[in-house]
Chains A and B, each alone.
Chain A
């Protein structure tokens, strides 16, 4: 068989098969993903994902920015979970600096991170169900997502590109009614999940489309570097929130849903369970949130409050110096990984002692998870490709960076 290249070549020797181009503009690829499918009738013989359409060179751009200027760029990598990206980057720089974050800042981070996870899973659930043909769920999911985006707007002034987490804490104390608004949302959310599940979990059309489709074994999940719900649905019980706690996750009690089946339906169940667990974590965060500052007391790194900056000479000087010159970060390297809604989101940062990072590398979960697609689809029906893409929950901005 001829080797498959990114430019499709039809081989006359294998005239039973046809190479079909799926994407880059295809409604079910969730972005600009191009798949080359070699099909024999309705069966996929070979598949090759072709990516890079959204590559913007963020890693290169980071090398020309001050450390604090990288934060807004991390939002744009995975645009469905900006706060998770912010957190992964900030934790890495804080580890380089040896900076401790006050408890209130950590709890706010955990709470917002879980809300982001809910937000991301809602988009996944809506679009995944729509791919299968269940339009209603999409509208229900985006109804709740709208409430979440309003909450993000309340804390950061932005609906999607929040940049709310900063090196040394969060940017400002949230508005006074914020926690009440989160509570209102969170208290009503479990019944909303019941609503989605009522539409899908026992729905015979949905179940028949998903059960036994896109199988991924435990060995393949490990060998292909899959992480997150994709891996947990194949029986690998790893969740970095529990296994390598960061940002105070050790103070929260939650279950890690897993499954040993490894098909698309198992991944659906795992993610829906995660929605419930996230809701529980937000509830605990609301109940136990401590009082105190939201930013670390490190005047050379953390921007002073506006009020102080306008009234105190020293604060003004620090503000000016951080904005114009940045801050030096001690030499060294760190790899800081957190559990994003899609899997292991890792930042590898090398510092050469100056105010700009020498190298920033993002280990994005979607990029690694995309590799399992081939395993899931080859030898299966072409209609199942759509279900399989939805089930690994990739974000193309995260794949290409």
Chain B
């Protein structure tokens, strides 16, 4: 089965209600998007992430009421270095959408989603622990997997995988 090429043109992506809704709300909020292998990704501007999530959650046609997953990808040596990945799931429509936020290494911080979904707590702590991304307004931003006195963030690409620490 041959793979269909990914759609990255925002004009074409407007067919998806999620993209259209966010663009109608604020044109600058959406930095880009991709529809690949049946999955929709939307690049969201860093400062509007939380508001975008609230819109997707409360819109009566979309109803992305549940947060599936939060993770991060380290694109070293590219800049911006970090890419935060949010997977939302709608329990009424059973659809998924992926939101992405790009972060510069020098200022790797963004709004916490815990005010919307308290369950984002552990996911954000995990990202903080393993990538060193900070979340503003998180109630308890501490290491979760590694010991409290650990140095470095193991899932970063420049973290040594061999030798003694």
Contacts and interface: CB of A to CB of B under 8 A. Distances in A.
Given A98-B1, A224-B119, A238 B161 contact: no
B145 A361 contact: no
Interface stretch (A122-130, A147-155, A366-374): A366-374
B146 A55 contact: yes
Contacts of A55: 145-146
Interface in A320-349: 330, 332-335, 337, 344, 346, 348
The residue among A60, A96, A100, A236 with the most chain B CB atoms within 10 A of its own CB is: A60
A349 to B, nearest CB: 11
A299 interface: no
Interface stretch (B9-17, B45-53, B62-70): B62-70
A95 interface: yes
Contacts of B117: 223-225
B150 to A, nearest CB: 10
B103 to A, nearest CB: 15
B58 interface: no
B165 interface: no
Contacts of B144: 51-52
Interface string A46-86: 00000110010101100010000000000000000000000
Given A238-B91, A243-B94, A224 B118 contact: yes
B154 A60 contact: yes
B145 A332 contact: no
Nearest to B98: A335
B144 to A, nearest CB: 6
Contacts of A6: 142, 148
Interface residues of A, number: 44
Contacts of A358: 73
A51 B154 contact: no
Contact of A337 (B68, B118, B161): B68
B148 to A, nearest CB: 6
Contacts of B119: 223-226, 368, 371
A396 to B, nearest CB: 12
A99 B71 contact: no
Contacts of B37: 95-96, 98, 332, 334
A359 B130 CA distance: 13
B68 A361 contact: no
B54 interface: no
B147 interface: yes
A337 B88 CA distance: 12
Contacts of B154: 57, 60
A64 B123 CA distance: 23
A334 B3 CA distance: 13
Contacts of A244: 94
A335 B73 contact: no
Contact of A361 (B2, B71, B121, B143): B71
B95 to A, nearest CB: 9
Contacts of B98: 335
A144 B65 CA distance: 39
Given A52-B143, A368-B122, 18 more contacts: A6-B148, A7-B148, A57-B154, A60-B154, A95-B37, A98-B1, A98-B2, A100-B1, A222-B66, A225-B67, A226-B119, A238-B94, A244-B94, A334-B37, A334-B39, A348-B85, A363-B69, A368-B119
Identify the 8 closest CB pairs spanning chains A and B, nearest first.
Answer: A225-B119, A224-B119, A363-B69, A55-B145, A361-B71, A243-B94, A98-B3, A52-B145
27 contacts: A5-B142, A51-B144, A52-B145, A96-B37, A98-B1, A98-B2, A98-B3, A98-B37, A100-B1, A222-B65, A222-B91, A224-B118, A225-B67, A225-B68, A243-B94, A333-B41, A335-B87, A335-B98, A337-B68, A346-B68, A346-B69, A346-B87, A350-B73, A358-B73, A359-B74, A371-B122, A400-B145
